[in-house]
């Protein structure tokens, strides 16, 4: 019996596996040293300050909370204590009262909810930074979700941005370079607070992704305005409810595979990307489909940026330092030459190892996101940047990273093992500029 791996494929698999093992060990070693050198941060001060800011922003609701999420959650711009506190903005916003809900609907839709709908639940089923959602039933009998924007949210974008700048500039070192990030956030918020735009986006996603694997709501245009959005109601389990019933590993893998495939199907079609990947926006339907809800934050990334962003994955796995440096320069990650600048050298080494860790799921045919060592690596790198509190990288990283890291965190909470071979092909095809395949 000949055990010698003579084919290019067999040898490639062995080479890749060896490279993965060596790269993983190096990444772990680097992270361990990094943590040892980063032990003097005033955690108590940052946490206390973040709690105070969150308390004030919660009172403001609206775009102030959205700005905090965009700049803090897993971006590395602010201390990790701040990021952890601001994550509450996704789940812990108190709803507005019933009488205000009724008056908003009267002003926007021309009558009170009890006249417009067969039934309308005045208790919000979800409340977030920009608006809250109510369950209702049309007079046709169809169950719908009605999203109501908090009063004055769109009008406060400029003032909230000014407030956020004054607060965050206390933490950020290169304050002047923060402006382009705020411009990107402002343009996104303008769209996110326009519910007609979101309704049109819902229609486009429904056309593209209503398949045997995915389910999206339909926009109910006649009961929608710029500040009230009505859509068909998706029934199903969110991640928290799904895990509470102690599902089997097979069920976890199936749920995880669907959300992994949804992300890569968007990449394949080279179009809009759902850019708010947190557990509240996804559910598992009774039919076993992935339900996708909330289409306020949807991004069209510039093609050149998106190609370079995807190119980070295979380039890091190849460990080609010259190609990686070239990519970092194009993406504004590096501000100098790591060969001659000690500060840039430290940052380059950090990004190199974090990038490798981030690219690992694309290395083999399957990947276990439930591996505790991998969770520790990702958590370590997202919370231990050696040059913290500094704005770096192309402004589009704000949302591309939010999408991709949100996907990873979802899968790690789920503990799913994912088949990744098809997604590797999709990424490579997108990098090579091949046209998207037609919808199945």
* pLDDT beyond 50 at 77: no
Q: 3-58, pLDDT tens digit by residue?
A: 323 333 332 333 334 344 445 555 665 566 655 544 444 455 555 555 555 555 55
Average confidence (pLDDT) over 219-235: 97
* pLDDT beyond 90 at 230: yes
Average confidence (pLDDT) over 279-294: 94
Domain extents in the chain = 43-93+154-190
Q: What is the mean pLDDT of the chain?
A: 81
Distance of alpha carbon 366 from alpha carbon 361, whole angstroms: 7
Q: 151-186, pLDDT tens digit by residue?
A: 888 887 887 777 667 766 666 666 667 788 888 988
**HEC states along the chain?**
CCCCCCCHHHHHHHHHHHHHHHHHHHHHHHHHHHHHCCCCCCHHHHHHHHHHHHHHHHHHCHHHHHHHHHHHCCCCCCCHHHHHHHHHHHCCCCCCCHHHHHHHHHHHHCCCHHHHCCEECCCCCEECCCEEEEEEECCCCCEEEEEEECCCCHHHHHHHHHHHHHHHCCCCCCHHHHHHHHHHHHHHHHHHCCHHHHHHHHHHHHHHHCCCCEECCCECHHHCCCCEEEEECCCCECHHHHHHCCCCHHHHHHHHHHHHHHHHHHHHHCCCEECCCCHHHEEECCCCCEEECCCCCEECCCHHHHHHHHHHHHHHHHCCHHHHHHHHHHCCCCCCCCCCCHHHHHHHHHHHHHHHHHHHHHCCCEEECCCHHHHHHHHHHHHCCCCCCCCCCCCCHHHHHHHHHHHHHHHHHHCCEEECHHHHHHHHHHHCCCCCCCCC
Q: What is the pLDDT of residue 330?
A: 96
Confidence of residue 378 (pLDDT cuts 50, 70, 90): confident
Confidence of residue 60 (pLDDT cuts 50, 70, 90): low
Higher pLDDT, 270 or 430: 430
């Amino acid at each position: 019996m000949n055990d010698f791996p003579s084919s290019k494929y067999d040898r490639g698999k062995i080479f890749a596996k060896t490279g993965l093992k060596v790269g993983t060990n190096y990444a772990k070693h680097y992270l361990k040293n990094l943590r040892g050198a980063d032990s003097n941060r005033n955690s108590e001060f940052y946490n206390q300050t973040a709690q105070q800011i969150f308390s004030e922003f919660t009172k403001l609701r609206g775009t102030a909370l959205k700005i905090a999420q965009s700049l803090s959650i897993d971006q590395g711009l602010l201390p990790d204590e701040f990021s952890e506190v601001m994550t509450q903005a996704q789940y812990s916003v108190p709803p507005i009262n019933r009488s205000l809900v009724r008056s908003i609907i009267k002003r926007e839709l021309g009558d009170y909810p009890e006249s417009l709908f067969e039934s309308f639940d005045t208790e919000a089923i979800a409340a977030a930074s920009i608006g809250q959602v109510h369950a209702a039933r049309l007079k046709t009998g169809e169950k719908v979700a009605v999203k109501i924007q908090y009063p004055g949210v769109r009008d406060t974008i400029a003032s909230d941005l000014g407030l956020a700048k004054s607060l965050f500039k206390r933490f950020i070192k290169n304050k002047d370079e923060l402006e382009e990030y705020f411009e990107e956030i402002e343009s996104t918020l303008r769209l996110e607070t326009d519910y007609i735009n979101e309704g049109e986006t819902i229609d486009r996603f429904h056309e593209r992704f209503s398949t045997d694997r995915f389910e999206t709501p339909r926009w109910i245009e006649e009961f929608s305005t710029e500040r009230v959005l009505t859509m068909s109601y998706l029934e199903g389990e969110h991640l928290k409810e799904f895990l509470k019933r102690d599902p089997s590993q097979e069920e976890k893998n199936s749920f995880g595979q669907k959300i992994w495939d949804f992300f890569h199907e968007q990449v394949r079609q080279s179009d809009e990307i759902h850019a708010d990947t947190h557990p509240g926006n996804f559910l598992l339907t009774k039919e076993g489909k992935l339900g996708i809800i909330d289409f306020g934050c949807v991004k069209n990334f510039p093609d050149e940026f998106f190609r370079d962003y995807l190119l980070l994955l295979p380039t890091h796995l190849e460990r080609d330092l010259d190609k990686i440096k070239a990519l970092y320069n194009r993406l504004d990650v590096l501000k100098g030459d790591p060969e001659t600048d000690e500060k840039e050298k430290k940052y380059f080494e950090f990004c190199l190892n974090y990038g490798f860790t981030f690219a690992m799921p694309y290395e083999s045919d399957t990947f276990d996101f439930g591996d505790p060592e991998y969770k520790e690596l990702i958590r370590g790198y997202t919370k231990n940047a050696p040059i913290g509190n500094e704005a770096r990288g192309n402004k589009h990283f704000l949302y591309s990273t939010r999408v991709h890291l949100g996907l990873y965190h979802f899968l790690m909470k789920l503990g799913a093992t994912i088949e990744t071979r098809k997604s590797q092909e999709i990424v490579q095809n997108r990098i090579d500029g091949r046209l998207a395949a037609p919808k199945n």
